[in-house]
Structure 1
Amino acid sequence: MSLTNPSEEQLNATDILELVQQEKTATLSHLVSSVVHEINNPLGCIAGNITYIKDYVKDLLNLIELYQEHYPDPVSEIADEIDAIDLEYLTEDVPKLLSAMENGAERLHQISNALRTFGRFESDRQVLFNIHDGIDSVLLMLKSRFKGTKIRSPIEVIKNYGDIPEINCYPGHFNQALSYLINYSVNALDEKAKAQPSNPEFKPTITIKTSLTSDSVILSIQDNSLGIPENDQNTIFEALLITKPVEQGTGIGLSVSRQIIEERHQGTIKCQSVLGIGTEFIIELPRSSDS
């Protein structure tokens, strides 16, 4: 006869889900912090030196131009080398390459900041947080999902941010809830594209809005997917409800999002959907006492 731990025996599905989520959150927090740290060291070196390199190259190109102006007829050996390296093309292309490198470094800097914002998993206390920063970081992390595929054109993300205050929040968990909701919208848009492969007028769109009431901050995530049947709208946030095909994962993201919003942040989340029109997730979060 095998012995069973009574504490495990008493755990229900929601308790197990929460424990798994806490462990995953802690692991992801450490991973993100490590990645950001490793990125920032070489990135700081590149970003800190590229300005100097641009100035040095500019000076060298100016010097070459002066030589060409004052010595228009170089010896044959130099003339041959100018032809061999295609000096005219080189002087035009090098500044472009340096600008591209500078843009790449800035892009990495944005990703690093987004990772740091996305990965803020303060488990023991709430902090004041600008949820617009959280939304932007999530959108940047999910950017590859918005690209066009074989079945649909690129997803247009429309941001309509209102003038809202910072809120007391667990930023990392809140960002995680957002990522699940936005991922759900992307999957729903993919499903519509599969269902309507011959509809050239379908332009997949996700619209994110924020606004303010007297006591709440409102966040809306709306897509133009096929929509959700009314009966499913009432159960879509239930724990362990499978919301997508097996090959796409467990589909518990919406349940985790509800837990994060309602249980961890004392907010509310609801789903509004019209078949053939799309789905909207509406989140209400309490304003902080000093806002």
Structure 2
Amino acid sequence: MSESSLNPVNLGEKISLVQVAVEAKPTILVIDDSPTNLEVICGTLMNAGYEVLVEMDGESGIQQAKDNHPDLILLDIMMPKIDGFETCSRLQSDADTKDIPIIFMTALTDTLEKVRGLKLGAVDYITKPFHQDEVVARIELQLKIRRLHLELEQEKQNLEQRVRERTAELMMALEELQKTQLQLVQNEKIFSLGEVFAGVAHEVNNPIGLISTNIYHANQYTHDLIHLVKTYRQKFNQSDPEIQELIENIDLDHIMEDLPKLISSMKLGSDRIHGIMQSVRNFSRHDGNKKKAVDIHEGIETTLMILQYRLKAQTNRPPIQVIKDYGSLPLVTCYSGQINQVFLNIITNAIDAIDAVEEKFAHRELANSPQIKITTGLDRENVIIKIADNGKGIPAEIQDKIFQPFFTTKRDKLTGVGLSISQEIITKNHQGQIFHTCTEKWTEFTLLLPLKLD
């Protein structure tokens, strides 16, 4: 307590009217320079069950309020040093004390003075001489208002916190819903693709099968006919002039040499068509969302087959060289359709990164060629798949955001969920890991798939 609060009251005794009370007792700070007034008002307050603090000037009262933060302040207007108006103004302007209700104590009856006090922030007036019942009633009313205000403020804070928590929950739920919707859309696209290609493959496989079978027989017939012609020419060297002229006109020697190559080329083409159709069917097969043991390399090769058109040379760059360093892998139990989708997302991003820096690959030297490097291997518990590209790279400031849903740097590309969905497929559906590393030359994504999936 300040020095002024130790002034004598009643026969020179030093007073400290801080009442030791139970924790729930409201505390009232009385600021008045009159010992007589202090004795009356403090006695009234203590008899009413309040804990009382006393100061006898404005400066000390302000410090006392800051130190102990009372529930209410009774403030005299006419005081030395600084008056009650200045004291009230300073209390109201301080963040630590501005919420403490202030009741002025005054013998003044001038309405202008009362209005001035209320404008400064006081909540009420008590007129001297005091009427004890009125003082207690006014104090109880203001304490009740303050208590209700504090309860309301607490409820407001609780409500705001609940709103923030609920909003966060709803935002998370909305993100999950959007991710799920997009995942369903992608799954539906892949399923629809499977449906379309199943029908197309069925229609294409019949004529391709017919062509393949006929090519086989045509190849046999060709060999037989060529053999016959060769034998005939060996046995009958002197041929008819008309036949000799015909042989020269049709360039028989060239036909005999080129026809087997022509049929072989047709066989390769039909095999290629059959392989493409089979790859697409494998990529989008209906059982891709069922757990089963699959060849990871087959899934990678199928994906590369699907993206072959994007790997070819473009007007602004040479073809993308795919470097494969495959290790010896066992069959891996997984959801093959989902894993193929991850391969598709990552390799597509790699191609986009390469296409984003076309000037880098303007010269066609092999050392400066666009490349995607795919490496597979094993550790004790996981299959390790690494997919790297020498494209644009990922800026350092966004590397921690690339797996966030809907984050994308490709303004004209889709929705930014490819890597987010890939992360969910690897981490949640397969209990694996996915992460990336960046160097000056390469951006590399690493997938860890457990050998044993629960």
Determine the structure 2 residue equivalent to 1:281.
445
Higher-Rg member (1/2): 2
Normalising to structure 2: TM-score of the pair? 0.57
Q: Tell me which residue corresponds to 2:211.
A: 46
Does residue 130 (structure 1) correspond to residue 295 (structure 2)? The answer is yes
Alignment of 1:263-274 (within 5 A): 263-274=428-439
Distance 1:181 1:10 in 2: 21
CA deviations over 1:70-95 (Å, ceiling 9, x no partner): 22232233223223322122111111
Write the distance in 1 (CA, Å) between the matches of 2:398 and 2:332: 31
Q: In 2, Cα distance between the equivalents of 1:129 and 1:232?
A: 35
Partner of 1:27: 192
Change (3 A) 1:209 1:63: same
Q: Does 1:233 pair with 2:372?
A: no
1:90 is aligned to 2:255: yes
For 1:227, what is the secondary structure of its paired residue?
A: coil
Between the two structures, name the one with larger relative contact order (CA 8 Å, sep ≥ 6).
Answer: 1
Aligned to 2:345: 180
SS of aligned partner of 2:368: coil
Q: Is the 8 A contact 1:243 1:252 kept in 2?
A: no
1:211-232 Cα offsets, whole Å, 9 max, x none, are: 1122211111011123111232
- 3-state SS of the aligned residue for 2:293? strand
Aligned pair count?
281
* Gap change, CA 1:199 and 1:100, over 3 Å in 2: closer
Compared CA separation, residues 10 and 34, structure 1 to 2 (3 A):
same
2:371 matched residue in structure 1: 205
SS of residue paired to 1:221: strand
The answer (yes or no) to whether the contact 1:226–1:277 under 8 Å persists in 2 is no
2:420 to 246, 252, 255: 255
Post-superposition Cα deviations, 1:85-138, rounded to whole Å, max 9, x if no partner, equal 221221111111011112112222322332232122426521111111111111
Identity of paired residues, percent?
37
Q: 1:9 to 1:273 in 2, by over 3 A?
A: closer
Conserved? CA contact 2:283–2:299, under 8 Å: yes
Which amino acid in 2 is paired with 1:79? Q
User: What are the equivalent positions in structure 2 for 1:74-113 lying under 5 Å apart?
Assistant: 74-113=239-278
Matched residue type, 2:436: C
Residue 155 of structure 1 aligns with an amino acid whose one-letter code is I
RMSD (Å) for aligned C-alpha atoms: 2.5
Write the distance in 2 (CA, Å) between the matches of 1:123 and 1:138: 14
Gap runs ≥5 in structure 1:
1-7
Q: Deviations over 1:17-74 (max 9, x none)?
A: 2332232232122123223322322222222332221111011011111222222232
Query: Tell me, which stretches of 5 or more residues in structure 2 are unaligned?
Result: 1-172
Is the contact made by 2:179 and 2:421 (CA closer than 8 Å) also made in structure 1? no
Alignment deviations for residues 260-288 of structure 1 (CA, whole Å, 9 cap, x no partner):
323332322112123x3221111111112
The match for 2:335 among 148, 170, 177 is 170
Q: Conserved in 2, the CA contact under 8 Å of 1:236 and 1:243?
A: no
